[in-house]
Amino acid sequence: MPNETTTPDVTREQLQEPDEEHLYHLVLLNDDDHTYQYVIELLGRILGYHPEKAFALACMVDSEGRATVETAQHEQVTRHQRQIHAFGPDPRVRRCRGSMSAVVEPAA
């Protein structure tokens, strides 16, 4: 019978907590069918961002074509991606037919 004070063989990788090597970015993509107000509401409801932060991200999406809105574990960013895709059209834009798009990318 093994001594109760002995520990099983554990590799260094097994001792490491999930960290940067397992993180993903959720990237919101720009389009011409959604208003700043829509983006601010979307980021507030889904990610809990204050209007000031959401506005800054909306400006980045508009000027750069994309913005990383979250960096987290894969399960969380994919859940938020689904919520973004299900958010619905912008009622302020007549031609708008659906939600904004977001992609998930590995964090480097």
CA atoms of 63 and 14, how far apart (whole Å) = 42
Query: How many angstroms separate the CA atoms of 56 and 36, rounded?
Result: 10
Element (H, E) at 85: helix 74-85
pTM of structure: 0.81
Per the domain annotation, does 11 fall within a domain? no
> Is residue 46 included in any domain, yes or no?
yes
* pLDDT, position 7: 46
Domain count, the chain: 1
Q: What is the model's pLDDT at position 64?
A: 98
Looking at residue 10, its pLDDT comes to: 47
Per-residue pLDDT tens over the stretch 23-70? 999 999 999 999 999 999 999 999 999 999 999 999 999 999 999 999
**Closest residue by Cα to residue 33 from 54, 72, 4, 61:** 61
- Segment 69-84 shows an average pLDDT of 98
Is 3 among the domain residues? no
Q: How many residues does the chain have?
A: 108
77 pLDDT higher than 60: yes
* Residue 72: CATH number of its domain: 3.30.1390.10
What pLDDT is recorded for position 50?
98
d(CA 34, CA 88): 10
- The Cα diameter of the chain in Å comes to 74
pLDDT of residue 108: 83
**Is there a domain that residue 87 lies in?**
yes
